[in-house]
């Protein structure tokens, strides 16, 4: 009898320990979710001065589903950044379809790679290169660097992550002969990008108000835009300049290179 009671007490103790552990994990996950919601969704949004920033664009991935790109273009969306790859081997299942259909509907396109903090930077770049062919009429390649998802719990050192970001960017630049754009949010910018990659064009996510202290080329200002041709909510972005500035940004460097060669 004493042995049976002892085993029962042990089971109760193990159950209590597991319950406490699950409660602690649940609390941290809940807190992270609440903080993420407050940071990215709870603010009332930003009113954009479209006279100052007339060039609008979106960014999409497979979770946007089947997109009617003709309707997107007709709604005065000028450009779209399309998710291509992630990590060392993942390829977005809708990338090629989105890429081809967007270009066919005269939407200016760019492709982006979601960077994994615990993966080799060069190998990640090669995954992107294997799946993305860029022309002179396309936007530069984009490296998406975020403290989000698995990256939030990365165990690599900060210096190691910065080194792999550099390797990825340099591999992009060498292959495409275009300087990449870095996409990031404010938290990640302060932690990894600022002071290390200041010579790269910045595509900054800042949802509650306009970035004032950071020089940005593209600004993502909402995750909840409604765009004809897309059934789900979508990220909306603007270019920092006029239509003429955007054309010069897109074609200016190529024109300069042609003039030098001639």
* 71-232-135 Cα angle (round to 5): 55
Question: In a 10 Å sphere around its CB, with 0-12 CB exposed, 13-18 middle and 19+ buried, how is residue 95 labelled?
Answer: buried
- Is-above-0.85 flag for pTM? no
| Per-residue confidence band for 262, with pLDDT thresholds at 50, 70 and 90 | very low
Give pLDDT tens digits for 143-177: 999 987 778 777 789 999 999 999 999 999 999 99
24 vs 72: which has the higher pLDDT? 72
Residues 103-111, mean pLDDT to the nearest whole number: 98
| Per-residue confidence band for 209, with pLDDT thresholds at 50, 70 and 90 | confident
Residues 25-35, mean pLDDT to the nearest whole number: 48
Least confident among 50-54, 55-59, 125-129: 50-54
- Predicted local confidence at residue 153, as pLDDT: 79
Tokens of 167: 């390797």
14 vs 229: which has the higher pLDDT? 229
- Predicted local confidence at residue 43, as pLDDT: 65
| Per-residue confidence band for 13, with pLDDT thresholds at 50, 70 and 90 | low
Give the active site residue among 59, 138, 164, 201. 59
- Predicted local confidence at residue 259, as pLDDT: 47
| Per-residue confidence band for 24, with pLDDT thresholds at 50, 70 and 90 | low
| Per-residue confidence band for 37, with pLDDT thresholds at 50, 70 and 90 | very low
CATH class given for the domain over 46-261:
alpha beta
Task: Provide the residue ranges of all domains of the chain, joining segments of one domain with +.
Answer: 1-42, 46-261
| Per-residue confidence band for 12, with pLDDT thresholds at 50, 70 and 90 | low
- Predicted local confidence at residue 212, as pLDDT: 87
Share of the chain above pLDDT 70, in %: 79
- Predicted local confidence at residue 34, as pLDDT: 42
Residues 5-27, mean pLDDT to the nearest whole number: 63
Based on the residue annotation, tell me whether 256 is a catalytic residue of this protein. Answer: no
Give the active site residue among 138, 146, 164, 235. 146
Based on the residue annotation, tell me whether 137 is a catalytic residue of this protein. Answer: no
Q: What average pLDDT does the chain have? A: 87
Share of the chain above pLDDT 90, in %: 70
């Amino acid at each position: 009898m004493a042995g049976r009671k002892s085993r029962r007490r042990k089971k109760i103790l193990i159950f209590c320990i597991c319950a406490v552990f699950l409660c602690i994990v649940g609390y941290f996950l809940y807190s992270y979710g609440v903080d993420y919601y407050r940071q990215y969704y709870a603010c009332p949004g930003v009113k954009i001065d479209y006279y100052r920033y007339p060039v609008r664009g979106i960014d999409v991935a497979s979770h946007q589903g089947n997109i009617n790109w003709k309707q997107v273009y007709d709604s005065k969306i000028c450009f779209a950044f399309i998710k291509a790859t992630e990590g060392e081997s993942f390829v977005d299942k809708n990338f090629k379809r989105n890429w081809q259909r967007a270009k066919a509907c005269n939407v200016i396109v760019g492709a982006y790679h979601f960077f994994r903090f615990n993966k080799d930077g060069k190998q990640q770049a090669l995954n992107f290169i294997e799946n993305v062919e860029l022309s002179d009429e396309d936007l530069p390649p984009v490296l998406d660097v975020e403290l989000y998802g698995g990256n939030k719990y990365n165990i690599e050192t900060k210096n190691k992550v910065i080194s792999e970001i550099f390797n990825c960017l340099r591999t992009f630049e060498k292959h495409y002969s275009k300087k990449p754009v870095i996409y990031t949010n404010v938290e990640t910018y302060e932690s990894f990008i600022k002071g290390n990659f200041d010579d790269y064009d910045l595509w900054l996510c800042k949802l509650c108000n306009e970035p004032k202290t950071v020089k940005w080329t593209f600004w993502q200002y909402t995750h909840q835009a409604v765009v004809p041709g897309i059934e789900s909510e979508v990220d909306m972005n603007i270019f920092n300049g006029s239509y003429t500035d955007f054309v010069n940004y897109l074609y200016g460097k190529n024109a300069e290179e042609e003039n030098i060669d001639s």
